[in-house]
Amino acid sequence: MNRIPKILKRFIAILLSLCIVLVLIAEMAEDFIAKTALNQINSDIDASIEIQDISFSLLKRFPYATIEFENILIQSKLNKDTLLGASKAYASLHTIDLINGNINTKKLELKDGFCNYIISHNNQCNLDCLLSIGGNSNSSESSSSQQLDLNKVLLNNIRFFYADSTSATQAEILIDKTEVKGKGSNNTYQAKINGNAVVSNCNYQNSNLHKLENAQVSYQISLADKDLHIENLLITSKGVNLHAKGNINLQDKLNSNINILTCNVQLDKIKQYIPKDILYNNQIQQITGTLALTGSIEGNLSDTLLPRVQANFKLSNAQLKKEGFPALQKLNCKGSIDNGAERAIESTRVICENLDFTTEKSSGSLSFDIVNLDKPSYKFDSNLSIDLEEVKSFLPDSLMKLCSGTANVHTKGKGKLNSLDELQNPDYLMNRLQGKIDLKDVKASKDSIQLDSLNLLLDYKPNQLAISLAKGTITSHNIKLKKGSLQLNLEGKLSNLKQLKASIDSIHLQTNQSLLSGNIQMENVTEPNYKLHLLSDINLQEFKHLIPDSLITNLNGSIITEIHSAGKLNPDSIDKQIVDLVCNHSQIKANCKNISIKSTNPSIQISDLSGQFKIQEDTITLHNTTASAFGINMNLDSTKIGNYYHTIVENKEQKLSIYSSLHFDQINYQTIDSLLQSFSSDTDNAETKSSRNYSYEIKGKLRGDHFTYQKAKANNISTLFNISDSIVLLDKFEFDAFKGNLNNSVRYKIISDNKQIVNFYNHTENLDIAQLMKDFNNFKEYEQEYIKSEQISGTLSSDLHGEVLLMGDSLVHDSTLLKGDFKLEDGGLFNFKPAMELSKSTNIEELDNMHFKTIESKVFVFKNAVYIPQTEIKSNAMDISAYGMQSFNDDYEYHLRVYLGEVLRGKTKRIREKQEKQENKPDGGTSGLTSLFLVSKNIDGKSHSGLDTKKGRAKMKTKIKLQQVVLDFLFHPKLIDFDTKVEENPTKHE
């Protein structure tokens, strides 16, 4: 036990002695060591180094010798730029190696240092002077000097400044509390680095990297020769958190295997780093949310061949506000990116498992899979639920001014995109896309059209489009759509329109009261060959709102139509072709029911229009058509209008042919006159605009129940007619009027613009002459004043042939020719001026009021006068034989023969018996009775009434015979052709 204190004392003495020795050695070797270290450093770098103080100790960090540097400053010899510096540096050396002359550093510590790493515009680095290590040493010395065995390197508060003028890049890194352990010899080395750093004051070209405040970096790295192992790497900055680990081979190609465990990006925080022009050009106003990334990088970082990159991304609770679009309140996205084993763009695959978003009222989702970013093979599926009212403010007014409702849109497709130009090719899209658009309760307006409660489904598959209408209302026109459908099929390519075939296999559209259906086929869209078949049942009142009230005030009725049409269209002149296609290449059948049209134009007033009509091969045909217009109820049957296109439309020198069988119930002259004047006015206006080259023939049958002219009425009217450019023919123009029946034929021929000839034939039976005069107001319209209805009575029957010449609207009396056989029965002549004057001069009172049973006479008109050959008038008072003439200028001359006995005593029994025996004298009188000859005339204003002379009688008879001979020579009624070429009772007329 006594030996332990002795040993302890000796150990302490030895230790103290050793310390003293070490202190003495260090003190004596300090200058040598400092000089040696400084020479070693100066020999290794091409720069000047300044050290304020160097101290050496063998005890401070025993068993290692310690060299302490204060205020180190390294400058470039060339331009005196400051390269490196530190306030304190400690180097712990292996003592034995140091005694043997070798510097073997075991520990290195730097405090409060800095390093400036600058690359100039000419790509020269300011630290190149520090990289020429060992240039002056021999091989053995170099070998020993490059041996490195560091137990620890401590870096505290070291600022690293980097600036590259060639790339306009800048950064400042503060390395704090970083520990490095490593050893190396020649080209082999190992190291472990643990520590923290702060990155700040960054800048890169025109980016917003300068806004980066501080990026905290924590790292655990090991290095074995040229293999860098990242055990842990944490990067945290405002808006970004990154956690990664992996390996990097530091050879030329930098082969790597890096795993990004987490990378979270706060989009609203990194928005400040995005260049403003990108945000402005993309009109991004707000962006928030979290982007999470995980993945790996495997392969060469510095090779032309990309490394293998695999990444998973997840965007959560993002919000995006972009001008022109509704704000996205919630946006989520999940997917992955992998550039494949080939590590090329061609093998890259991008998968979006789900992208969903919501706005205030809308939502949507999208998934897609893309392989090969150079020539992508893709498939996608998307669903959108769009509130139209929400997006209406983002739609141009030219597209839609008012919009509400919901649009559910589903699209999907797959294919391969060899170039972006294919997206401009409609054939590419048509063959690879399909989708549905389901419109629910849509309300929209465009110009004057307003839609409400529209429910419509559009379903597109490659080259097929189906449209289904559930309901809807065109509120602007008060049309309710009940249901509808359309099926469109395409065959061919839109890029080759000449070979494209389009077919609408079915059309169906139904409103509350109307229906449209059919099909359409089309080939060669540039100059389409088409074929269509359409059926429609249209209620006109539903579509009245399409016509301005300024044109049509009321419209009712329905039209059932069937249309077959086929032809070829030239899109550049379709407006000119459409009439030809309708007239010559279509068959249109229509059945009209109870159509009524009221217009602001009085000439367009139609009611109760019903019937069938057909358009085919330039012909319009009407059957069983009834209508009421201008107060007239009409019925048209077997009506045919032929060649109307080449004549009315094209104005060619051809004939327009019209045949009609027309019946009306009642009509008055005022209506006809108004229509004729309107027609004449329209015709005149039309003629001033263009000359008519075509001719026309309008013929047929006309029947009517009643016709009224002022007080005159005609019933049971019928006629055959034929109207052409210069001739109007009426044949068998028969009617009941004035208590009798009339059958007429008329030929009206236009000689010139102001000259017309009218030929006519009249057969009258049992016409009440007094009624005729009364109904025509005694013909005062024609300036007839010499006889009135109350002055004449009787029943008239006649056969009359005539010809009159019209100059303009005036009758040329001198050219009037007429032949007639008249028979007046049970009549009388009362207070007739010529007879009254004769009565005064002869005192024969019976001449004032004559009653007769029968008068038969042949009357003719020639040279402005009416001639009456000898006519026997037999009455119960007396018998009169008369002849004479009455001119149209009020000249007249009548010669009468009466019997004296009848004048003196009346018609006695004896006279009546003689007259019944009819024994005529040579002069025509009755034998046994004394004749009394009388004359009444007014010639050139000179009147004379009284006893007649034989000479005067002979002169008048001669004049009558002479005028009749000339008339018979000039006027041949049997040569007048009244044939209308119309069959009176045809079996069928088409």
pLDDT band at residue 426 under the 50/70/90 scheme:
confident
User: 739 versus 34: which is more confidently predicted?
Assistant: 739
Phi and psi (nearest 5°) for 3? -75, -30
Q: What is the pLDDT of residue 141?
A: 44
Whether residue 403 is found in the same domain as residue 342: no
Would you say residue 341 lies in a domain? yes
Single-letter code of the amino acid located at 585: H
**Domain for residue 454, yes or no?**
yes
Asked whether the whole model's pTM tops 0.85, one would answer no
CA separation, residue 278 to residues 270, 422, 980 (Å) = 14, 27, 88
Whole-angstrom distance, CA of residue 439 vs CA of residue 635: 49
> Would residue 537 count as lying in a domain?
no
Q: Which domain holds residue 307?
A: 255-374
Q: What pLDDT band is residue 411 in, cutting at 50, 70 and 90?
A: very high
Token look-up 């770098």 returns 45
Asked if residue 408 and residue 315 are part of one domain, the reply reads no
Give the chain's mean pLDDT.
81
- pLDDT bin (cut points 50, 70, 90) of residue 499 is confident
Burial class (CB in 10 A: 0-12, 13-18, 19+), 922: exposed
Examine the domain organization and report whether 345 and 368 are in the same domain. Answer: yes
Q: Residue 660's CB: how many other CB atoms inside 10 A?
A: 19
For residue range 385-408, list pLDDT tens digits in order: 998 888 877 776 666 666 888 999
Q: Taking 50 as the threshold, does the pLDDT of residue 933 lie above it?
A: yes
Boundary (domain end) residue, out of 460, 477, 494: 477
Residue 106 binned pLDDT confidence (cut-offs 50, 70, 90): confident
Residue 380 has pLDDT above 50, yes or no: yes
Instruction: State whether residue 426 is helix, strand or coil.
Output: helix
In this structure, how many other beta carbons lie within 10 angstroms of the beta carbon of residue 386?
A: 20
Greater model confidence, 103 or 243: 243
- Assess whether 266 and 335 both reside in one domain: yes
Kindly state whether residues 323 and 351 are assigned to the same domain. yes
Classify residue 878 as exposed, middle or buried by CB count within 10 Å of its CB (0-12, 13-18, 19+): buried
pLDDT in tens, 291-340: 999 988 888 776 667 788 899 999 999 888 887 788 888 999 999 999 88
For residues 368 and 281, state if they share a domain: yes
Q: Are 293 and 401 contained in the same domain?
A: no
Q: Which amino acid is at 708?
A: T
What is the pLDDT, as a whole number, of residue 843? 65
- At 215, which amino acid appears? A
Residue 461 lies in a domain: yes
215 contacts 237 by C-beta, under 8 angstroms: yes
pLDDT reported for residue 70: 87
pLDDT of the residue at 42: 61
Residue 6's pLDDT band (boundaries 50, 70, 90)? low
**For the chain, what is the domain count?**
2
Lowest mean pLDDT among 562-576, 589-603, 895-909: 895-909
Q: How many CB atoms lie within 10 A of CB 581?
A: 16
Pair 398, 364 in one domain: no
**Shared domain check, 464 and 395:** yes
Burial 719-731 (b: 16+ CB within 10 A, else e): bbbbbbeeebbbb
Are 457 and 437 spatial neighbours (Cβ–Cβ below 8 Å)? yes
pLDDT digits (tens, 9 = 90+) for 874-931: 776 677 788 999 888 878 898 988 877 776 666 666 666 666 666 555 555 666 677 7
Asked if 749 and 757 touch (Cβ cutoff 8 Å), the reply is: yes
Of 445, 477, 509, the last residue of a domain is 477
* pLDDT confidence band for 213 (50 / 70 / 90): confident
What are 560's strand-pairing partners? Answer: 537, 591
Q: Based on the fold, state whether residues 343 and 392 are members of the same structural domain.
A: no
Q: Which of 374, 401, 435 represents a domain boundary (last residue)?
A: 374
